[in-house]
Amino acid sequence: MEKLLKIYRQGDLLLIEDFAQLSENTKVGNALVVESETGNKHVLMGSVHNLHGQLYVVVEKPTPLTHPQHPQLIIEPGIYRVEFVRDYALRRAVD
Amino acid sequence: MFCHLGLGKAYRRSYEFFLFNKITSSAARKGGFNGFSVYGFLGYPYRVLVELFRGFVVNSYRYGGREYYVFPEEFCDLFKLVARLINNLYRFYGKDVNMVFKHIENLLQKCDNVENCLSVLSEEVSRVERILVERSLRGRKALTTRFEKGFERCRSIVYRYFPGFINPHIHIYSSVNDLENFLGKLLGFERARRYSEFIAYHSPTLIASNDLVLVAREHELNGFRIFVDDCSETNSYAILKVVGASTANGYIQKVYWVAILGIDKYTKQLFLHYIPPTLLLRKAEICRMWLLGLVDDFGRWRYHSYKLVEV
């Protein structure tokens, strides 16, 4: 059976399962903290990597993604690419 | 005067023609008489014409990757008609180049001489143009009906979640600086700067902050309407697919933009994101998937199998 790609969305923040080759050299932090338009923060504990300008987060065990205004999401273990909702007017993600 | 017809490599150097008072290649070097020249990228029909009227060629030369044939002045009218017919048939056959060539080739078989060819071609140009106008009107009417039905279907979502949509605030701006200042107060100056370029090109546009605001230049609102095409609602959001278009005689004339207007039920925040116009005829949910990056500009899925969990 084909493996399902895991994708999570909480508000404007998207986590898309990825298979990037990350190393200790690309690590930039131990928690993903993303401020949303309302000023509140999406928070996910896990090692954060920056590979060629793209953010990734590595989740080792089921971990909650929290935000004061959204229900929490339990993120399953894996490597995730950090993306944001797109807008054609901006020709890029809203971040 | 002489009509110089240059034929070259397909597409890039396909064809050009112009009037000039000499038959020599100095015409091509100077770009035609008083700069008048017509050029295009589907030159095959002109090759058929050259074969058909080879007896009228008064000179030929090569210049800049094209072979030029010099005809008497009256041939320019014939070439202009062919150029018009190529453009019309290109639309008529939905860019199917082979069909365009076949159509013109069949038509040129009816040509016995220049006068007769002119009348055959001008009749065909009128016929094709009439069909194109009728087809375009039918398309406008169908799109307008579709949007009217869309609004009826989504009426309850519009009134419940987006009451301001029916009668949005209007801000008239006079310059891009004025626009950036206004948007800066609503969205923050960084986003305002990035949005203003799109707005300046696609104005009038809708902006969502705490409320909906329609931004436009003076006189741009004449005939402009925002239509609702589709909608969707779940526990966490309600969305409308909206289309900004100008209308003429009650029908859609030109679509300016397509967007997803929504409300996040958790944060109670309105959002409005523009999507590519290629998604004009797609369902609201597919358009929402574009915002998430899960489909491409034509609504085709980017991932074969995935599990989307969202709140």
State residue A3's pLDDT score.
78
| Cα–Cα distance measured from residue B286 to residue B276, given in angstroms and rounded to the nearest whole number | 12
Of B88, B109, B130, the residue at which a domain comes to its end is: B109
| Cα–Cα distance measured from residue B38 to residue B33, given in angstroms and rounded to the nearest whole number | 12
Q: Are residues B185 and B80 located together in one domain of the fold? A: no
Q: Of the spans B4-18, B94-108, B171-185, which averages the highest pLDDT? A: B94-108
Judge whether B122 lies within some domain: no
Q: Mean pLDDT over residues A1-6, rounded?
A: 80
Q: Mean pLDDT over residues B136-150, rounded?
A: 96
Residue of B nearest to A84 (CA): B292
Q: Are residues B168 and B76 located together in one domain of the fold? A: no
B246, two tokens: 């100008």
State residue B64's pLDDT score.
87
Q: Chain B contact for A54, CB < 8 A? A: no
What's the first-to-final CA gap in chain B, in angstroms? 73
Q: Chain B contact for A69, CB < 8 A? A: yes
Residue of A nearest to B197 (CA): A89
pLDDT band at A60 (very low <50, low <70, confident <90, very high): very high
Contact call for B273 and A69, based on CB within 8 A: no
What percent of chain B is modeled with pLDDT above 70? 98
User: How many structural domains is chain B composed of?
Assistant: 2
Is B46's pLDDT higher than 80?
yes
What residues in A contact B199, CB-CB < 8 Å? Answer: 89
Structural domain for B16, as ranges? 2-109
Judge whether B297 lies within some domain: no
What percent of chain B is modeled with pLDDT above 90? 70
Of B109, B134, B152, the residue at which a domain comes to its end is: B109
pLDDT digits (tens, 9 = 90+) for A12-58: 999 999 998 898 899 999 999 998 877 889 999 999 999 999 999 99
Is A94's pLDDT higher than 70?
no
A/B interface, count of CB pairs below 8 Å: 79
State residue B13's pLDDT score.
78
Residue of A nearest to B293 (CA): A86
> Tokens 């915002």 belong to which residue?
B291
Range 258-297 of B in CB contact (< 8 A) with A: 264, 266-267, 269, 273-276, 290-294
Q: Are residues B203 and B76 located together in one domain of the fold? A: no
Judge whether B135 lies within some domain: no
> Tokens 């071609």 belong to which residue?
B121
Judge whether B303 lies within some domain: no
State residue A47's pLDDT score.
95
The single-letter code of the amino acid at B22 is K
CA atoms in the 13 A half-sphere facing the CB of B56: 18
Asked if B69 contacts B7 with a C-beta cutoff of 8 angstroms, the reply is: yes
Q: Chain B contact for A23, CB < 8 A? A: no
Q: Are residues B98 and B154 located together in one domain of the fold? A: no
Q: Are residues B160 and B104 located together in one domain of the fold? A: no
**Cα–chain-centroid distance for residue B27?**
34
Q: In what order do the strands lie in the sheet with B59-63?
A: B38-40, B15-20, B2-7, B66-72, B59-63
State residue B35's pLDDT score.
66
Q: Are residues B160 and B239 located together in one domain of the fold? A: yes
- Nearest CA to A66 out of A84, A82, A44, A47 is that of A44
Q: Are residues B155 and B105 located together in one domain of the fold? A: no
Q: What are phi and psi of B28, to 5 degrees?
A: -65, -35
pLDDT digits (tens, 9 = 90+) for A68-90: 989 999 999 999 999 999 999 98
Q: Are residues B90 and B161 located together in one domain of the fold? A: no
Please tell me which residue, B296 or A90, carries the higher pLDDT value. B296
SS3 B168: coil
pLDDT digits (tens, 9 = 90+) for B59-106: 999 998 899 999 999 999 999 999 999 999 999 999 999 999 999 999
What residues in A contact B305, CB-CB < 8 Å? Answer: 2-5
pLDDT band at A95 (very low <50, low <70, confident <90, very high): very low
Which residues have CB under 8 Å from B58's CB, separation 6+? B2, B23, B70, B71, B72
pLDDT band at B197 (very low <50, low <70, confident <90, very high): confident
Judge whether B200 lies within some domain: yes
What residues in A contact B241, CB-CB < 8 Å? Answer: none
pLDDT band at B285 (very low <50, low <70, confident <90, very high): very high
Range 184-243 of B in CB contact (< 8 A) with A: 191, 194-195, 198-199, 202, 205
Q: Pairing relation of β-strands A27-35 and A92-93? A: unpaired
State residue B130's pLDDT score.
97
Q: Are residues B167 and B274 located together in one domain of the fold? A: yes
State residue A59's pLDDT score.
96
Q: Are residues B52 and B175 located together in one domain of the fold? A: no
Q: Chain B contact for A24, CB < 8 A? A: no
Contact call for A69 and B305, based on CB within 8 A: no
State residue B186's pLDDT score.
84
| Cα–Cα distance measured from residue A81 to residue B94, given in angstroms and rounded to the nearest whole number | 40
Q: Mean pLDDT over residues B148-160, rounded?
A: 96
pTM for the model: 0.80
Q: Pairing relation of β-strands B306-310 and A5-10? A: parallel
Q: Are residues B240 and B198 located together in one domain of the fold? A: yes
pLDDT band at B278 (very low <50, low <70, confident <90, very high): very high
State residue B230's pLDDT score.
97
Q: Which residues of B166-177 are buried (b: 16+ CB within 10 A; e: fewer)?
A: eebeebebeeee
pLDDT digits (tens, 9 = 90+) for B198-231: 888 888 999 988 889 999 998 888 899 999 999 9
Of B202, B267, B305, the CB nearest to A11: B267
- Nearest CA to B76 out of B42, B27, B37 is that of B37
Q: Are residues B237 and B194 located together in one domain of the fold? A: yes
Judge whether B94 lies within some domain: yes
Is B32's pLDDT higher than 80?
no
Angle at B196 between CA B190 and CA B198, to 5 degrees: 120
Alpha helices in chain B (DSSP H): 26-30, 44-52, 75-92, 97-108, 114-161, 176-187, 189-202, 284-291
Residue of B nearest to A39 (CA): B267
Of A10, A11, A88, the CB nearest to B275: A88
Judge whether B127 lies within some domain: no
